Amino acid sequence: MADIRAVPDDLRPPARPARRHLLSIGDLDRDDVDRLLATAQSFAKALEREVKKLPTLRGRTIVNLFYEASTRTSSSFELAAKRLSADTMSIKSSGSSVEKGESLKDTALTLSAYDPDVIVIRHPQIGAPQLVTRYTDAHVVNAGDGKHQHPTQALLDLYTIQEELGRIDGLHVAIVGDVLHSRVARSNVQALLLMGASVTLVGPPSLIPRGIEALGCEVTYDIDAIGAADVVYVLRMQKERMEAGSAYVPSLREYTAQWGVTPERLRPGQKVMHPGPMNRGVEIDARVADSVDSLIERQVRSGLVVRMAVLYDLLTHGPVAVPTQVQEVA
């Protein structure tokens, strides 16, 4: 019998470190992102069929643990797992033992007793997903931790841009608004730069973290700068993260007058994105949100296939050969 050690190096499956978790965009390199976006595209094709369920993750268990409000992220993770035939459990902090004061460590240990394959977690504290990795054998996916990271949002945004504009490399994206409190902004800056786009952050000085240029993006306090971008990415004013009493902006009305994204501030054909939930009439004018150049609904649709790709990737990649074809229901 042939000795495996005798196989020449170039015939072995590509050596690729297995990614155990998805905690930050910093966990990914460009090849990882390309592979995830290509997998998402295969799933999008598979979902065009009448029967939308794929057997790929049959018998796997995915826990969604949400300590913060969520509509899009939690629903798309749940549907993504179901479309792939996994068993899912969704736990929200309200109505669970978290309300009785159970610590994150104890909740993680409790849920791990069911041997889940993946724990998806959203938590108001930075580093909570990292902490969960210490108490579980499951793969952990960060669905948003404080103002730190939201990697699957950035991936679905990349996917949306690639599908709509045909590329990411070489594009110019302006990210506008409350960067200071936004995990979406942090993940998106990293992800867009990784994929070769250039990024300009636009907003009032009080809402742009000092020194953020070190990431490789530009900063301007001039709203007219959005006119130069291919894509204008509008951020929500994160009122819940602004400490009471601190005045980041004189008033929301003032903010809207100075920084609101209105049709007058855009060129025809510029694409507009927003992660949701939107404060219509605050950071984004309703005419912009509903215009033909708005990709906002498209982003929600991308969320499903990109999260399917993330779950699939974590559960099927390893140091051995990788199935490239998405298996369909017989």
Nearer residue to ligand NCD within complex by CB, 66 or 312: 66
Among 144, 203, 204, 260, binds ligand NCD (CB under 6 A): 144
The CA-CA-CA angle for residues 199, 205, 209, to 5°, reads 60
The one-letter code for the residue type at 146 is: G
Per rule CB under 6 A, is residue 183 in the interface with ligand NCD?
Answer: yes
Per rule CB under 6 A, is residue 184 in the interface with ligand NCD?
Answer: yes
| Least separation in angstroms between CB 160 and ligand NCD | 12
* Range 222-241, binding ligand NCD (CB under 6 A): 236, 238
Among 53, 72, 280, 301, binds ligand NCD (CB under 6 A): 72
Q: Which residues are identified as catalytic? A: 72-73, 100, 122, 150
Among 116, 177, 260, 275, binds ligand NCD (CB under 6 A): 275
* Range 283-322, binding ligand NCD (CB under 6 A): none
Per rule CB under 6 A, is residue 146 in the interface with ligand NCD?
Answer: no
Among 276, 291, 293, 326, binds ligand NCD (CB under 6 A): 276
Per rule CB under 6 A, is residue 73 in the interface with ligand NCD?
Answer: yes
| Least separation in angstroms between CB 180 and ligand NCD | 12
Nearer residue to ligand NCD within complex by CB, 21 or 183: 183
| Least separation in angstroms between CB 127 and ligand NCD | 16
Nearer residue to ligand NCD within complex by CB, 56 or 182: 182
Site for ligand NCD, rule CB under 6 A? 72-73, 144, 150, 153, 183-184, 236, 238, 275-276
